[in-house]
Amino acid sequence: MGIFYNQQERVFRLDTPGSTYLINIVDEEGFLCHAYYGRRIPDDNMAYLLRLNPVGGPFKTSGQQASFLDQLPVEYSGHGLGDFRESCLRVETEEGYRSCGLTYLSHRIYGGKPALPGLPATFGGEGDCTTLELRCHDRYLDLEVCLLYTAFEKLDVICRSARIENRGEKPVTLTAALSACLDMDNRDFDLITLHGSWAYERMINRRPVAWGKQGVSSLRGISSHHEQPFLALAEHAATQDQGQVYAMHLVYSGNFLAQVEMTQQELLRAVIGIHPQDFAWKLDPGGSFQTPEAVLAYSHTGLDGMTHALHDLYRNHLIRGPWRDKPRPSLVNNWEATYFNFDTEKLLDIARTAAGRGVEMLVLDDGWFGCRDTDTNSLGDWFVNEKKLPGGLKYLADEINKLGMKFGLWVEPEMVCPDSELYRAHPDYALQIPGRPPMLSRTQLVLDFSRQEVRDCVYSQLHKVLSSANIEYIKWDMNRALTDVSSLCLDADRQGELFHRYVLGVYDLQERLLRDFPNLLLENCCSGGGRFDPGMLYYSPQIWTSDNTDAIDRLRIQEGTALIYPLSTMGAHVAACPSHTNGRVTPFDTRGLVSLPGCFGYELDLTKLTEEELDMIPGQLENYRKYGPVFHDGDYYRLASYGGNGEYDALMAVTKDKRTAVIDYVHVMSRRRRRSVLLPLRGLDGETRYRSSETGEVRSGAGWMYGGLLLPEMKGDFTGKLIVLEAV
């Protein structure tokens, strides 16, 4: 494994345990071409795949340069010189010229992986990965681009980004700067993306790749509820455990484009990066721009292989801090219990009930600050409302700590209400277009986080709050998209930088928070799952999966999330019933089963539960303590999809040593059956024998996988079962 350069063949070879990626330097001009990406092979001389010949390929003659470039599989596409597919790089000069093209300049290969200044990115030491810095340039623009590739030793993953540098004497403006490009032949691929909306995030969508451009994007200033910065190309016959799959995932939390394009020659170009619309970055002489990182994953074992590669990468090489490898505390959040209607005694009542059943933390949600009794005021005023909470957060936290529980707090630092002390003092702190009335959403505006003084103002308030009491957890919310995207402190020729500068500002503030409070457990939230992306995982090991807490809806939401994210990243709570989202009535134990694989908690008023329900809590918490590590650290397998079959849902997690497997089965809708459901398992050791907690039967791993598990007969709708297989 690693990265090598074959000087004779002029080819760069990137090897991972199961894949090979080949880059060829072509022609005397030094075009950087993508020759091969797929299952591991020993060959370097695969340039024939580029079809550099007179028939059926991009043959170059003195009069056919443009046609040559329009078919050439390239590593990082330019613009305006004959390649009419999607451009990774577009540049505009002072004179208004817009053409650019890149050729090879130099390279460097070394162990380990560099950080990306100001941006979240995967990390690894010399024993974990190898990096290629491939420098190319447009000699006519004096523009250099450093293409960064990192191949991981134990994962079928290659991470890519680009750093663009102006070596000329005049400024230029980048109008597109994507992170990665992948040119390949169409092999009857399906495109897999994750779409949705508020309360229905990350629904799996699979359809055949068609002519032209198709994909997903966001222009909302956030990665969004509606699309995920991810795409996968899967062979049409690929299943969970068979077939080739290529994935691209962007480590970024703002506007993005993830797109595949099929050309008239049935060539595919997949690209991913910051969305070019509303983007323009001015590069002064000597200036540089770093694109976000793109994760490329390859699998020849179907979706399982892709999922496991991404899960292991994010668990071990993206999530940081002390909470990465520690069990996450169970919690109760007061939002669906009280909304804004609470005081200290009400919160302590909930905490006493929770502590008596073994819950480990109480989280105080919205309404504790300023004059906040509705969602129409006080965002930006991060000081305690002592009319509600006499003695402030310190008294409340101390009392909760006396119960043996931790204390956590909700904040929404990126927003400001016009009815707030902060806005009255600094109306210029909000994003706004001079002369145009700002667009309110949820009666709030967005603070201009591109400005250091705005971030400093907000952070000083947060720092004071967190220093005032023993606050061990923060839920960082963000409840609206960006509009009126203009800054009073950017020149006219830099307004196109604002969307990206805003995201960099969010990253900066969260980095400061973790630096000053290194033991803090940070959970990101964006009106639920509106900013559930790899960029946020760099700062918070878990993210609130969705504001939809209905257990049955959560089956599909969590299935789509788990396709690419570890189960340990998903905030999942037993919520109030009937559901506050859709009014559905679901049994308490089933709500517990659905929440168990994620970061477990309660989102309801525990003091209003029946004794029977209260008595179930210790058992649910015991299951979380015992099997949470299996779900969070083990290999995940999707066994059955309620979204696909309309009847039942099943997932499975297997420890890395293959000694324990846990099957979480939910029987959603009862239907008359002549025979019981047989569920083939995956991921077990074929020679090891396992005992079922359901029946006591002992069978080999091969028997459970190839014979299958008979699902228990369940009466009624919305029931479920936890089945454990232990090696004997």
Tokens standing for 617? Answer: 């809590």
Residue holding tokens 């959040």?
Answer: 333
Reference 364, options 356, 372, 616; nearest CA is 372
134 Cβ contact list (under 8 Å, min separation 6): 12, 23, 32, 75, 104, 107, 146, 147, 148, 149
CA distance 445 to 455: 15
CA distance 308 to 566: 9
49 Cβ contact list (under 8 Å, min separation 6): 35, 36
CA distance 520 to 409: 11
CA distance 558 to 586: 17
Longest CA pairwise span in the chain (Å): 85
In order of 457, 463, 483, the CA distances from 377 in angstroms are 18, 21, 19
Q: DSSP letter string over 2-24?
A: EEEEETTTTEEEEE-SSEEEEEE
CA distance 635 to 157: 17
Pairing of strands 570-575, 542-544: parallel
Q: How many CB atoms lie within 10 A of CB 123?
A: 19
512 Cβ contact list (under 8 Å, min separation 6): 459
Contact 582, 554 (CB under 8 A): no
In order of 26, 224, 350, 531, the CA distances from 503 in angstroms are 37, 13, 37, 11
Which residues are designated catalytic?
477, 547
- CA 337 from centroid of its chain's CA atoms: 29
Tokens standing for 58? Answer: 């991009």
CA distance 226 to 443: 22
CA distance 164 to 116: 13
